[in-house]
A and B are shown apart, each in its own frame.
Chain A
Amino acid sequence: MSKLARGPWRRILLIGCVLAWSGPLLADGSGSVGQAQPYYLGQGLYFPQQAVRVGGYADVQFHGLDNHRNALAIEDLSLFLTKDFGARWKMFSEVELGDAVTVTDHHVTTRNANVDLERLYAEYRVSNGITLRVGKFLTPVGQWNLIHADPLVWSVSRPLTTTAAFARHSTGAMLYGTVSLQNHDLDYWLFADDSQAIGFARSHDLAYGAYGATNSLKNDFSHAVGGQFLYHMMDDRLSVGASAARYTLRDPLQQYRLIGIDFAWTGRHVEFSGEALQRTADNPTLPDEVGGFVQAVVPLPRKLYVVGRYERYRSSTQQGALSIRSIGLNYRPVRGLFLKLERLDGSRNAALDPSGWFVSAGVIF
């Protein structure tokens, strides 16, 4: 996690915040709505005079890993700030306070607390199908990484497939949008990262970020180019996607190629989703990173959902493939609130994604 609030980027962020809170730059026709609107949990609070929306999410997690001390933590406290500058320009930022308070057995600490600039970017809407984004953003590889926040995903744990092979954040430029293809929507993201040159607010994402994982390898892009396509069918009930990227990681300095596929299907009584990827190093002596998962969600009465997932992953850092099984419950009593319980087991997973019980509760506001 990066430590924000040092160096010139603090001044840039400060200027951005001042701009964000200044008055509206354009009046009618700008796309902003100059009138108050009711607040709904999960939609942020809108300030019409400033064309600013403030929101975010917070969650508390309990980790009860096998053969480890139990831990309770205020895992995330994220603040979103969105401001429209007229019809075509927008600024978005997400600042996250991570692990603000951690309780392990009888010990309470704030030592793990960190402030991370998760995202900071400006956008320009070129046309209906093209938006240019410049700044720090989530790397568009697979669907999970783009919506990884605890309130938005069904499980507490996160598949290795969505973290281990690439940097989860990019700094550079992106073109994205939606175009129509044979009467269906095709979403696309094309990005170029130059973290080495721009290099602000690095996130130092852990490749194996699960609680209790002993491998501390970090994934930071030095350079990267890539993209993703997502094709929607059946009124968005089915989407299939593909990702590809070529990049250099900083430490150890190495070049890689990545390809991935993903899908999501929502039926009346079950939802299936999955992702798979393969990362190949330019150095032929290095083993590939290969993995994938399938997840099923079955709705029960009273806004309760059963969530099951199976993942198989072969890491470049250990011999042989590991497998991980997860089963859990997700309770969503009202929009914006959630409570999750999960049991994770596996084989050969102790170092990268240890077995145990997980509980998470939170809100998106």
Chain B
Amino acid sequence: MVSNAVAKGANDRQIAIIVSRHTPVTTIDNNLLRSVFLKKIFLDPANHVYVPVNLKPDSKLRRDFTLAVIHMDEPQLQSYWNRQYFQGISPPFVLGSQTAVVDFVAKTPGAIGYVRPCYVNAKVKVILLLTVIGALADAAPEHCPSDGRH
């Protein structure tokens, strides 16, 4: 499911995968997205280096994304990155908020991040819209900018 125009207040059960508006990439599938965030794939079709960005480890959205896309729980993922770190491969860049993710992705060629759809603005484009299902969707969503509490 791909959307390039997601309004604020869109479904709280969705996660928008975003890249810079100027990036030629228009879509990505789940498998490729997983490989990018595990740093098994590093070049996009235009030969730009992917720069995946994560939220902080205690972020609920990060947990949702990790389970939905990476299919690992936090200890598994931690073990994976420990092994990669020993090989000189670092985990994705970490940013402190969804607003920071949007700003970073907007100005960084190759950057790819995930936010709630309500955070998306004109400086970035959505290349994949994930719908969180099952137990993940039952948890309370993080606040959107319109709530004034982010």
Interface residues of chain A, those whose CB is within 8 Å of chain B, are 28-31, 33, 35, 37-38, 40, 42-44, 46, 53, 55, 80, 82, 87, 90, 92, 125, 127-128, 146-147, 149, 151-152, 178, 180, 183, 185, 235-237, 266, 335, 364
Contact = CB atoms under 8 A, between A and B. Distances in A.
Given A33-B93, A185-B40, A28 B108 contact: yes
Given A46-B90, A235-B71, A236-B71, 8 more contacts: A31-B42, A37-B93, A43-B85, A44-B90, A125-B43, A146-B86, A180-B31, A266-B76
B146 interface: no
B32 to A, nearest CB: 9
B101 to A, nearest CB: 12
A347 B86 CA distance: 34
A240 B70 CA distance: 20
A128 B43 contact: yes
Nearest to B41: A128
B73 to A, nearest CB: 9
Contacts, number: 80
A293 B130 CA distance: 42
A87 B46 CA distance: 13
A149 B86 contact: yes
A87 B93 CA distance: 16
A116 to B, nearest CB: 16
Contacts of A178: 35, 40
Interface string B93-119: 111100000001000111000000000
A44 B87 CA distance: 12
A28 B109 contact: yes
Contacts of A152: 82-83, 86
Interface string B12-53: 000000000000000000010001000011110000111100
A33 B40 contact: no
Contact of B42 (A82, A128, A335): A128
Contacts of B81: 42-43
A183 B43 CA distance: 19
A78 B52 CA distance: 28
B108 A44 contact: no
B110 A29 contact: yes
A55 B72 contact: no
Interface string B52-79: 0000110000000000000110001010
Contacts of B90: 43-44, 46, 53, 82
A38 B43 CA distance: 25
Nearest to B47: A87
A302 B80 CA distance: 21
A31 B76 contact: no
Nearest to B111: A33
A316 to B, nearest CB: 30
14 contacts: A31-B110, A33-B51, A33-B108, A37-B94, A38-B96, A40-B57, A43-B91, A90-B88, A128-B42, A147-B86, A178-B35, A178-B40, A185-B40, A236-B71
Nearest to A31: B49
B20 to A, nearest CB: 11
B93 A183 contact: no
Contacts of B88: 80, 82, 90, 92
Nearest to B109: A29
A335 B91 CA distance: 14
Contacts of A87: 43, 49
B82 A236 contact: no
A125 B83 CA distance: 19
A49 B53 CA distance: 18
A235 B48 CA distance: 27
Contacts of B41: 128
Contact of B82 (A30, A128, A183, A364): A364
Contacts of B71: 235-236
A251 B25 CA distance: 55
Nearest to B107: A28
Nearest to A147: B83
Nearest to A303: B75
Q: By CB atoms of chain B within 10 A, which of A44, A128, A185 has the most?
A: A128
A188 to B, nearest CB: 12
A144 to B, nearest CB: 11
Nearest to A131: B42
Contacts of B104: 35
Contacts of A128: 41-43
Contacts of B49: 29-31, 87
